[in-house]
């Protein structure tokens, strides 16, 4: 009797997990490509500063490409447990900084945002949260460069 109740509970849990599964929704990539009126070294410094202040660890892939690891969205000693149980969002950024002219720079920012909402779900592409969006990152970079 107890075994059959346990099996029924396990079957209902499995069925409810599958019932929530569906095709992943496609989201537009969060990418910005602009030309800024500042030299490459100033733009690179501003990008590194803004991303570091935003909680990202910035790495240089090469002379033109900056990448980040996933940003810590929930800081604290219990963050792993909270993320595992309740879910959250995470983001990472790739920036390509190339010279357009001697006094202008082409900047391409790409933000990848993933989310999950619970214990039995995996990370999936999600719409970018406003504070981590490419538009907001560009605004912060322009502020650091004193560009209106």
Strand partners, 101: 104
- Residue ranges covered by each domain of the chain: 30-145
Give Cβ neighbours of residue 116 (< 8 Å, ≥ 6 apart).
83, 87, 88, 122, 123, 124
Residue among 147, 79, 93, 89 nearest 121 (CA):
89
pTM value is 0.73
Find the mean pLDDT for residues 20-35: 71
- Label residue 21 by pLDDT band (50, 70, 90): very low
Q: Give the fold, CATH level 3, of 30-145.
A: Alpha-D-Glucose-1,6-Bisphosphate; Chain A, domain 4 (3.30.530)
Strand partners, 124: 115
Predicted confidence (pLDDT) per residue in 74-106, tens digit: 666 666 666 666 667 888 999 999 999 989 999
Strands 30-36 and 104-115: antiparallel
pLDDT attached to residue 28: 75
């Amino acid at each position: 009797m107890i075994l059959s109740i346990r099996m029924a509970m396990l079957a209902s849990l499995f069925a409810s997990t599958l019932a929530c599964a569906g095709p992943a929704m496609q989201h537009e990539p969060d990418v910005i490509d602009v030309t800024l009126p500042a030299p490459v070294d100033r733009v690179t410094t501003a990008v590194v500063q803004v991303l570091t202040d935003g909680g990202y660890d910035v790495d240089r892939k090469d002379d033109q490409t900056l990448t980040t690891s996933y940003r810590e969205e929930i800081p604290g000693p219990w963050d792993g447990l909270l993320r595992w149980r309740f879910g959250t969002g995470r983001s990472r950024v790739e920036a390509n900084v190339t010279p357009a002219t001697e006094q202008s720079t082409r900047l391409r920012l790409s933000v990848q945002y993933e989310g999950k909402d619970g214990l039995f779900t995996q990370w999936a592409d999600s719409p970018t949260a406003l504070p981590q969006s490419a538009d907001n990152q560009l605004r912060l970079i322009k502020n650091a460069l004193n560009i209106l």
